[in-house]
Amino acid sequence: MKRLLIKNAKIVTQNRVTEGSLLALDGRIAALDVHIEAEVDSEVDAKGLFLSPGFIDIHNHGRAGFDVMDAKPESLENIAREQIKHGVTGFLATTDTAEKEKLWYAVNTAAKFCDNDKSADKPRKGAQCLGVHVEGNYISMKKRGSHPPELLRPISQEGLSTLLGAGNGNIRVMSFAPELPGSLEAIRRLRRSGVAVAAAHTDATFDEAMDGINAGVTLATHIFNSMRAMTHRDPSVVAACLLDDRVTCEVIADGTHLDPVILQLVYRLKGPDRVALISDSVRFSGLPDGRYDRDDGRAVMVKGGVIRLGDGRLAGSSLSMNGAVRNIMRLADIPLCHAVRMASLVPARIIGMEATKGGLDVGKDADMILFDSDINVSAVFIGGERII
């Protein structure tokens, strides 16, 4: 039996921070207490740092020059290694709008990578790939954001079957516009297959969005961004997602995608159990400022961590998960335990993994991180093994 003791930590649980120690046995959390005396194989003195559950990023396209759409295990490996530096212990490899075949390969490669990740016996170097998030393809032309217009296509049952086959049980989230023809049938089918459905890149009215929610939509993909705007006589998909408790809202808390006031508004309306922090980071995140070419031939400018197409449209983010936690605390005056909950338990719940991940609870996987008051991550454990 492998025993790990972390002592002198400020332990971040769902509602409070307490000083104490944590004992993990064979990869699972076994005890939390003020003092724990135990014979262990390894002991870590946290020296007063915060100990929290590892972050789970359910919306991540890439980092540091690598992208899920590369459809290469090496790219996924590199993304996992970049993610873990920012306190991410689990992530969904997130695909983009692409030609059918290219999308199939990207989903299938990511799915195989996840399956191998689960069964790997070699030493782990990066965050765990917990599944695949398929974003785009079936989205509104009006709210496509940076997705290439010529590649958008109608929802088809055949297309869904192909994707679900490529995912081999690993697709955890699908993001598309709920107002498109065939979407309600698709939502019901995906829910039956255990896939969470997100309203994304959508021009849905309030009523159209409610039809989607009643059919099974439980997530709003980067709320407000690439969504029909909410106005006083057109509450739109935004108000539907903000008001309905069945829906969790993803937010990109980089200070650019959403005004800090909007972050506060979302938090006040949804509370800490219905907001999921995401990175939505792309290949160009973490690269020096400059001009880069995307796979679709269009150029982006990276400046001060903000990524834009030539026409000024935002094209993903450079955000990291520890950055998101830090930002939302500062920009929207949110307490640490709530910010951590939005980066761990809430995303774990969205992908149906809250029984084993997303919290420092006895019995859950010992996926944990240590960080300081600026959320600089100094240690990461997955299944009780120290990776960083």
Check residue 211 for interaction with Zn ion (CB under 5 A).
no
Q: Which is nearer to Zn ion, 11 or 300 (CB)?
A: 300
One DSSP character per residue, 81-135 reads HHHHHTTEEEEEEEE-S--HHHHHHHHHHHHHHHHHHHH--SPP-S-EEEEEEEE
Q: Which is nearer to Zn ion, 81 or 201 (CB)?
A: 201
Stretch that binds Zn ion, among 2-10, 22-30, 39-47, 276-284 (CB under 5 A): 276-284
Stretch that binds Zn ion, among 74-82, 135-143, 268-276, 318-326 (CB under 5 A): 135-143
| Least Å from the CB of residue 147 to Zn ion | 9
One DSSP character per residue, 13-47 reads -SS-EEEEEEEEETTEEEEEES------SEEEE-T
Q: Which of 280, 289, 296, 361 is catalytic?
A: 280
Show contacts with Zn ion in window 167-196 (CB under 5 A): none
Give the helix, strand, coil percentages of the chain, each rounded to 5. Answer: 30, 30, 40
| Least Å from the CB of residue 330 to Zn ion | 24
Bridge partners of 129, per DSSP, are 91
One DSSP character per residue, 265-324 reads HHHHHH-TTSEEE---B-TTTTSPSEEEE-TTS-EEEEETTEEEETTS-EEEE---HHHH
CA end-to-end span of the chain: 22
Check residue 250 for interaction with Zn ion (CB under 5 A).
no
Containing H/E element for 385?
strand 385-386
Q: Which is nearer to Zn ion, 222 or 357 (CB)?
A: 222
> What does R_g of the chain's alpha carbons equal in angstroms?
20
| Least Å from the CB of residue 201 to Zn ion | 9
Question: Is the Cα dihedral 252, 116, 97, 219 positive or negative?
Answer: negative
Q: Which is nearer to Zn ion, 70 or 135 (CB)?
A: 135
Stretch that binds Zn ion, among 201-209, 272-280, 296-304, 326-334 (CB under 5 A): 272-280
Bridge partners of 39, per DSSP, are none
Instruction: Confirm whether 280 is a catalytic residue.
Output: yes
Show contacts with Zn ion in window 87-126 (CB under 5 A): none
- The beta strands (E) that lie in 136-170 are given as none
Q: Which is nearer to Zn ion, 117 or 280 (CB)?
A: 280
**Total number of residues binding Zn ion (CB under 5 A)?**
2
| Least Å from the CB of residue 135 to Zn ion | 5
Distance CA 135, CA 198 (A): 9
- Name the maximum alpha-carbon separation found in the chain: 65
- Residues 6+ away with beta carbon under 8 Å from 324: 252, 253, 254, 277, 278, 279, 343
| Least Å from the CB of residue 175 to Zn ion | 7
Q: Which residue is nearest to Zn ion (CB)?
A: 280
Q: Which is nearer to Zn ion, 7 or 222 (CB)?
A: 222
- Please compute, for residue 149, the number of CA atoms within 13 A of its CA located in the half-sphere on the CB side: 3
| Least Å from the CB of residue 221 to Zn ion | 7
| Least Å from the CB of residue 153 to Zn ion | 18
| Least Å from the CB of residue 377 to Zn ion | 23
Stretch that binds Zn ion, among 27-35, 232-240, 277-285, 373-381 (CB under 5 A): 277-285
Give CA angle at 331 (202, 65), nearest 5°: 60
Q: Which is nearer to Zn ion, 250 or 367 (CB)?
A: 250
Check residue 280 for interaction with Zn ion (CB under 5 A).
yes
Q: Which is nearer to Zn ion, 118 or 298 (CB)?
A: 298
Bridge partners of 11, per DSSP, are 18, 51
Stretch that binds Zn ion, among 73-81, 112-120, 275-283, 366-374 (CB under 5 A): 275-283
Residue 349's nearest CA partner among 170, 21, 130 is: 130
Stretch that binds Zn ion, among 10-18, 130-138, 243-251, 318-326 (CB under 5 A): 130-138
Active site residues: 280
Residues that bind Zn ion (CB under 5 A): 135, 280
